[in-house]
Amino acid sequence: MAPFPESFPQYPSRAQFLSYLHAYARRFAVAPHFRANVSSARRDEASGVWRVQAHVAGGRGDVEYVCQWLVVATGENADPVVPDIDGLRQLTCPSMHAADYRSGEAFRGKRVLVVGCGNSGMEGGAGRLHLSMSVAMMRWLPLWLVDRILLAMAALTLGGDVVLRRPAVGPMELKRREGKTPVLDLGALAKIRSGHIKVVPEIRRFLSSSSQSSRSSGPAAAELVDGRVVHADAVVLATGYRGNVHSWLKQETTADGNKDAGLYTVGFSRRGLAGIAEEAVRIADELAKAWRQQTEQDHLHISTTTNPTFDSCVSKTNSTPPPST
C-alpha cells in the first residue's frame, strides 16, 4: 500500500495527485506506456486472450498488446467535452480546452474567458490569476456542487453578489446519481470576492469580427444570455470530460466488468476516488487469486504429465541388475 503523504490535504489538488502517481510508479517499479492511443480491445475466444490495438507516438507506430486479463481504468473523464456554442469555431483569438492547458505564461496580462465553473474551471481559473490576468468565469454548469456547510462558507466568503443555488442532495449523492464531481475551492472563491475573477452568465454566442461594435477592444467578444458582451484575448473551455470506452472496447460489459472473460473495470461506479480505491483493491485481490489458481493448475498439469516418466526412470535406475552369467 502507498497512502497519500501526511502533508496532503483531505482533497488533493491536481498537481498533488500527479506527484503521488509518479511516486507510486517509482516505488513499485511500474512503467506506464504513455502516448499510446488505444483503437480497439477484443477478446480472442479461440486463444482465450485479449488483443489490444494501439498507436504509440514517437516512431513506434501500431502495436498489439496481448494479455489474459484486461483492466479498463479510463474512467468517466477520458475525452474533453467541447460545447456547441455558436461562433466558437470561428474564433481568431487563442482558444483551448482545459485538458491542453500547461502554463499561463502565454496569457500573462491578458483577458481570459474561462467557460465553465467545475473543477477544471475553478482550479485552472485560480491558477491563471497568479500571472496578473483578468479572468471572467462563465457559469456553464447548471449546478454548483457544494453541500450545506460549503454553501454557508461560500456565502460568508462571497457575500450576496454571487448567487449559489442550494443543491437538493449532497455532493457524494449527486456524484453517484449523475457522475458530477464536487467543486473543490483552491483559492478561486477569494479571488471572486476580490474581483480578480468576474462570474458571468451563460454564453449565447461568440460574435464575429464583423458583428462586433466599433468600440470593441479585444479580438473576441462573447454575447451573454443577459445581453451583455464580454471581450477576451483568450478563451479556455473548462467544460469537462466524458468517457470513451464504448468507442474502442469491443465487448459487452457492465460497471463491474466481465470476470468470466477476464475483463475488469475501474472508475465507472460514480463513487469518486474512494470508490475507485475500493474497486482497485478488490480487482487486485481477484487477479492475484486467479493467478495463484492458474499457477497451481499449471503445476498440477506438469506434475501429472512428467511424473510417470520420472518414476519409470527412477525404477530403471534403482532396479537390481540381473545376475551375471
Instruction: Collapse the DSSP code of 236 into the 3-class scheme (helix H, G, I; strand E, B; otherwise coil) and give the result.
Output: strand
Instruction: Write the pLDDT tens digit of every residue in 177-196.
Output: 665 565 555 556 666 666 66
> So where are the chain's domains?
14-77+243-287, 80-241
In order of 6, 68, 115, 256, the CA distances from 41 in angstroms are: 39, 12, 34, 17
CATH C-level class of 80-241 = alpha beta
Instruction: Write the pLDDT tens digit of every residue in 55-94.
Output: 998 877 899 999 999 999 988 778 888 888 899 888 888 8
Contact 53, 64 (CB under 8 A): yes
Q: Do domains 14-77+243-287 and 80-241 have the same CATH topology?
A: yes
Which pLDDT score is estimated for 310? 36
Query: Which alpha helices (DSSP H) does the chain contain, by range?
Result: 14-27, 119-128, 148-158, 171-178, 188-194, 272-318
Which pLDDT score is estimated for 214? 44
Which pLDDT score is estimated for 128? 46
Which pLDDT score is estimated for 281? 92
**Burial grade of 33 (CB within 10 A; 0-12, 13-18, 19 or more):** exposed
* Among candidate residues 13, 37, 52, the one with its CA nearest the CA of residue 263: 52
CATH number of 14-77+243-287: 3.50.50.60
CA distance 184 to 122: 8
- How far does CA 175 lie from the centroid of its chain? 15
Q: Which three cell numbers stand for residue 23?
A: 511516486
Q: Which three cell numbers stand for residue 173?
A: 449523492
Instruction: Collapse the DSSP code of 156 into the 3-class scheme (helix H, G, I; strand E, B; otherwise coil) and give the result.
Output: helix
Contact 92, 219 (CB under 8 A): yes
Which pLDDT score is estimated for 157? 45
DSSP 14-37: HHHHHHHHHHHHHHTT-----SEE
Please indicate, yes or no, whether the overall pTM of this predicted structure exceeds 0.85.
no
Q: Which residue has the cell 511500474?
A: 30
Q: What angle do CA 253, 258, 263 make, to 5 degrees?
A: 100
Question: What are 236's strand-pairing partners?
Answer: 96, 114
CA distance 53 to 126: 39
Which pLDDT score is estimated for 170? 58
Q: Which residues contact 150 (CB under 8 A, 6 or more apart)?
A: 185
pLDDT-flagged residues of the chain (< 50): 125-133, 140-154, 156-160, 163-164, 211-217, 307-325
